[in-house]
């Protein structure tokens, strides 16, 4: 179904407004991090001052293994948001993603809302973004190249969001030929392709199919953070049933199971979906994530405290991760992944 530019822009505006609230959180399902405890190591000899978080992310060194996740673009409000988030990412030397670039491909009116990110952050990894519903109808691969070139992207994210498209008013829940479309893009563009969900998670089976066709990154975007089914239900004035509000695989489950594919494939595993504090981030790393990512909580912090607030929040999260590493006897994040978590029920 064709959606005009004004409708897309209004949709993005409504998404921003709803994500500035807590109304769109999952109701009962969580990301699952609370089900784990770290194994305290009383005889730790870790020197906290020597812990180094520097990470290689698609050819660029970042100071913390963190991604300000894809949020917005293609609306008047988005330019200012993206400019401020890019400032924060640039100052921290971390990665950042843009929101869906469908609007940029179909209408150039709001291209500044995307281009501002690279202008503000010239040296950090910037991720492009296009929806699965768009690439299955793609007639010209040059559209993807255009989207990537617009922001000088270091990688391109394809967001697979079947639940959101299913519920969204004027949604496009037709993903026929998706894997073939992704494979075609992987083969012809000269930057890595990442596939992410938007809150319902990616299973190990789905991740393996994607890695088989050359995808270089999996962003689990699991259940437990923002319910995009909830977002669309609220956008429709609550007229839709909320039976799918809590649909999806918890983030912790996705990370834990997909990380097992590391023995067979080389890829970045991004843990997102309900990463709301430093302990969540530390548990995501311990379960196998290479990069932690967050969106809504950062958008809310930006709204409250501006760029400095976002920077301080992320910095403090990694101070917490540093403390966790000290208390678990982990000199590196690789060591943190070596059986440093225990399921709570095994403690009693």
pLDDT band at 74, cuts 50/70/90? low
| Percent of the chain clearing pLDDT 90 (strictly above) | 85
What's the Cα-to-Cα distance from 257 to each of 52, 76, 196, 204, 220, rounded to whole Å? 26, 39, 15, 6, 11
- Cβ atoms of 46 and 265 closer than 8 Å: no
Can you give the CATH number for the domain in which 9 is found? 3.20.20.70
Q: What is the pLDDT of residues 101-145, one digit of tens each?
A: 998 888 888 899 999 999 999 999 999 999 999 999 988 899 999
Domain tally, the chain: 1
Q: How far apart are CA 188 and CA 201, in angstroms?
A: 27
Token output for 291: 């990069």
Tell me: pLDDT of 293 over 50: yes
Q: What is the pLDDT of residues 241-284, one digit of tens each?
A: 899 999 999 999 999 999 999 999 999 999 999 999 999 999 99
pTM, entire model: 0.95
Structural domain range at position 255: 5-347
CB-neighbour burial class of residue 303 (10 A; exposed 0-12, middle 13-18, buried 19+): middle
Tell me: pLDDT of 347 over 50: yes
79 sits in the region (left: phi over 0; alpha: psi -120 to 50; else beta) called alpha
Token output for 274: 């309900």
């Amino acid at each position: 179904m064709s959606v005009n530019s004004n409708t897309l822009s209004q949709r993005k505006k409504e998404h921003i407004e709803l994500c500035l609230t807590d109304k769109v959180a999952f109701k009962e399902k969580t990301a699952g991090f609370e089900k784990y405890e770290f194994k305290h190591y009383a005889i730790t000899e870790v020197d906290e001052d020597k812990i180094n978080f520097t990470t290689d992310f698609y050819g660029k060194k970042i100071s913390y293994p963190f991604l300000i996740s894809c949020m917005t673009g293609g609306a008047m409000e988005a330019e200012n948001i993206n400019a401020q988030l890019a400032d924060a990412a640039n100052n921290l030397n971390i990665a950042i993603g843009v929101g869906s670039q469908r609007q940029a491909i179909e209408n150039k009116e709001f291209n500044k809302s995307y281009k501002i990110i690279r202008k503000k952050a010239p040296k950090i990894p910037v991720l492009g973004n296009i929806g699965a519903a768009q690439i299955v109808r793609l007639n010209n691969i040059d559209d993807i190249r255009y989207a990537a070139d617009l922001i000088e992207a270091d990688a391109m994210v394809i967001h697979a969001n079947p639940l959101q498209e299913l519920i969204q008013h004027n949604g496009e829940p037709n993903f026929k030929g998706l894997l073939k479309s992704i494979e075609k893009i992987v083969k012809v563009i000269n930057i890595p392709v990442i596939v992410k969900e938007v809150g319902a998670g990616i299973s190990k089976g789905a991740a393996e199919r994607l890695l088989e066709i050359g995808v270089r990154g999996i962003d689990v975007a699991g259940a437990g953070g923002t319910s995009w089914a909830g977002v669309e239900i609220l956008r429709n004035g609550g007229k839709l049933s909320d039976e799918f509000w809590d649909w999806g695989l918890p983030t912790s489950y996705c990370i834990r199971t997909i990380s097992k594919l590391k023995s067979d494939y080389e890829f970045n595993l991004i843990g997102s979906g309900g990463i709301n504090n430093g302990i969540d981030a530390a548990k995501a790393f311990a379960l196998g994530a290479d990069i932690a990512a967050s969106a809504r909580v950062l958008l809310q912090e930006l709204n409250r405290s501006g760029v400095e607030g976002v920077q301080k929040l992320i910095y403090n999260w990694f101070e917490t991760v540093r403390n966790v590493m000290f208390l678990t006897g982990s000199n590196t994040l690789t060591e943190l992944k070596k059986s440093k978590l225990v399921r709570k029920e095994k403690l009693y």
